[in-house]
Amino acid sequence: SFNLWITKAERTAYGPLNLKPWEFMKLSPMEYYKLVEGYELRMEIEDRRQAYFTCIMTNVHIAGNKRLKVEDIMKQLHPMSLAQRKTEEKLFMEEFRQAGGEI
């Protein structure tokens, strides 16, 4: 029900999104989801930046062929969802077929 959704959404609204109760209640569910997506994107960008600097600091101490990559860290912090994976597979297959590949 809508009351259950509001109860669950309030935690994110008042926490990470830092909304006030009157700001949250004025939002439509679509606006709320857009704010959440924006927050998640900002966090992913910040995590990527921190992963970059972590790699720089760690790779100084690691042997040449075992270097840590930003993507190694990002896969752990932000694993790909099933929907994202299916979308990427579909895009890959379309590009593959356009390049003349056959399955």
Distance CA 35, CA 61 (A): 40
Q: In the chain, what are the domain boundaries? A: 2-70
Are 69 and 55 in contact by the 8 Å Cβ rule? The answer is yes
pLDDT of residue 103: 63
pLDDT of residue 57: 93
Sign of the torsion formed by the C-alpha atoms of 94, 96, 100 and 101? negative
pLDDT means per 10 residues, the chain with 103 residues, are 89 95 94 95 96 93 86 90 87 86 70
- How much of the chain is in helix, strand and coil states, percent to nearest 5? 75, 0, 25
Of the candidates 83, 6, 77, the one whose C-alpha atom is nearest the C-alpha of residue 45 is 77
